[in-house]
Structure 1
Amino acid sequence: MLYVVTGPPAAGKSSWIRSHAKPVDVVIDLDLMALAMAGPGADHHDHDDTLLAIVHAARRAAIAEAERHLDTTDVYLIHTMPSPKARAKYKRLNARIITVDPGEAEVRRRVKAMRQPAMEAVVTRWYSDYRKGGSRPLTRQTYRQW
Structure 2
Amino acid sequence: MLTVVVGPPCAGKSTYVRAHARDGDVTVDYDAIARALGSRRDHEAPRAVADTASRARDAAVSRVMAKRWPAWVIHSRPSADQIAAYRDAGARLVLMDPGIDECLRRCAEDSRPPGTEARIRDWYERPPQLAADWSIQ
- TM-score where L is the length of structure 1: 0.84
Number of aligned residue pairs: 133
Give, in angstroms, the shift of residue 68 of structure 1.
2.0
Q: Residue 98 of structure 2 aligns with which residue?
A: 102
Aligned residue in 2 for 1:119: 116
Give the CA deviation at 1:135. Answer: 8.0
How big is the shift at 1:88?
0.9
Superposed displacement of residue 113, structure 1: 2.8
Q: What CA distance in whole angstroms lies between the structure 1 residues aligned with 2:125 and 2:131?
A: 11
Q: Distance in 2 between matches of 1:83 and 1:123?
A: 17
Alpha-carbon separation, structure 2, partners of 1:128 and 1:64: 29
CA displacement, residues 40-84 of structure 1 (integer Å, 9 cap, x when unaligned): xx12211111110111111111111111221xx311001100111
Cα deviations by residue, 1:106-140 (Å, 9 ceiling, x for unpaired): 10011123211201121111111115x4489x67x
Structure 1, unaligned stretches of length 5 or more? 140-146
Distance in structure 2 (CA, Å) of the matches to 1:27 and 1:135: 23
1:62 corresponds, among 60, 63, 69, to 60
CA contact (8 A) 2:29 2:73 kept: yes
1:84 equivalenced with 2:76 (yes/no): no
Distance 1:80 1:45 in 2: 12
Query: What is the identity percentage for the equivalent residue pairs of Structure 1 and Structure 2?
Result: 34
Consecutive aligned runs of 4 or more in structure 1 exceeding 2 Å deviation: 133-136
Matched, 1:50 2:36: no
Structure 2 stretches of 5 or more lacking a match? Answer: none
Aligned residues of 1:25 and 1:75 also touching (Cα < 8 A): yes
**Aligned match of 1:3:** 3
